[in-house]
Amino acid sequence: MFANAGGAFPDGFLDDEVDEGGKLRAPSMKSIEVNLYGAVYTSKAAIHYFGKESYKQHQLVLTGSAAR
């Protein structure tokens, strides 16, 4: 199983964004959702299916990217 994640997300991850009341907004977690959650979901599915053929050797390879 090979899972490759990556995405292009706008600059400004660490820029201060405030709402109408001047309260600091949380940064976007889109990069985390793609790279971390995707890897976790893929791992869960792979381990499930690997168990169905335990007599075989299996490999799980995960990659992620934060390239801009």
pLDDT tens digits along 41-58 = 999 999 999 999 989 999
Residue 19 resides in a domain: no
Contact 5, 64 (CB under 8 A): yes
Residue 20 has pLDDT above 90, yes or no: yes
Residue 12 resides in a domain: no
Q: How many domains does the chain have?
A: 1
> What is the residue range of 38's domain?
1-6+28-68
Residue 38 resides in a domain: yes
Q: How confident is the model at residue 66 (pLDDT cuts 50, 70, 90)?
A: low
Average pLDDT, the chain: 83
Q: Which residues pair with 28 in a beta bridge?
A: none
| Residue 48 CA: distances (Å) to CA of 3, 13, 40, 60 | 15, 35, 12, 12
Contact 42, 62 (CB under 8 A): yes
Contact 1, 46 (CB under 8 A): yes
